[in-house]
Homo-oligomer: A and B are copies of this chain.
Amino acid sequence: MKNVPLATVERVAKYLRCLNRLREKGIKVVSSKELAEHTRTSPEQVRKDLSYFGRFGKTGTGYDTQKLSRKLERILKAQRKWNVCIIGAGSLGSALARYQGFKDTGYNVVALFDSDPEKIGEKMGQAEVYDIENFKDVVKKKDIKMAILAVPKESIEEIEELLSKANNIRGILNFVPVTIKLKTRRKVAIIDVDLAQKLYILSYLIKRGREMT
């Protein structure tokens, strides 16, 4: 498989969401034009993106929603289920623990971590809040490979330290508005989600009179 540009991977994840929605509605076939409309891109882009991963559909007949979504899911997820933890059980952490969109797609939040004794032991969504002191043990025991960061900015250095040593963790989704850096030779995938950045982009688009992303 070729080295796929990240922008393609991002769009493919959008196609997958769209395909799953269409399947829910009982729709069996979709054209690249429809898929493009649902994901705010062009039919040419859809076809180009999908061509990285093999040949799908026949010219003029569209894509089989079930087959294509299964294939894309295998490509993106690699394994059926992922256990995920959330570090920081404040308002954002607890909202993410309850976020339906994660469970729907096979990413299961199985633990939260916090240092506040009031929160430890509490249940948020399906998961319990554990003492951050026990991070390494819990992560290992529960086979957690992904961590979502939702701590206050002030705690980030401590968390970087912790994650550098937690050999189980291979991917991080970071909601803290700081670019994190681990001190480790392991390969750890990191995605920064900066919510304020989205508002910057939105105001730019408004100003420019551009419609969408």
Which residue numbers of A lie inside 8 Å of B, CB to CB? 6-7, 9-10, 13-14, 16-18, 21, 38-40, 75-79, 82, 84, 90-92, 94-96, 98-102, 104-105, 107, 145-146, 152-153, 170-173, 177-179, 187-207, 209-213
Contact = CB atoms under 8 A, between A and B. Distances in A.
A126 to B, nearest CB: 14
Nearest to A199: B107
A13 B200 contact: yes
A200 B105 contact: yes
A179 B213 contact: no
Contact of A206 (B145, B153, B200): B145
| Copies in the assembly, this chain | 2
B209 A76 contact: no
Nearest to A77: B203
Given A145-B206, A213-B6, A213-B191, A196 B105 contact: yes
A152 B39 CA distance: 20
A191 B202 contact: yes
Among A18, A189, A191, max chain B CB count under 10 A is at A189
Nearest to A193: B198
Contacts of A200: 13, 16, 76-77, 105
A93 to B, nearest CB: 8
Contacts of A90: 95
B7 A197 contact: no
Nearest to A40: B179
A197 B145 CA distance: 17
A95 B90 CA distance: 8
B99 A92 contact: yes
A212 B189 contact: yes
Nearest to A207: B78
Contacts of A178: 21
A10 B105 contact: no
Contacts of A197: 10, 13-14, 17
Contacts of A171: 202-203, 205-206
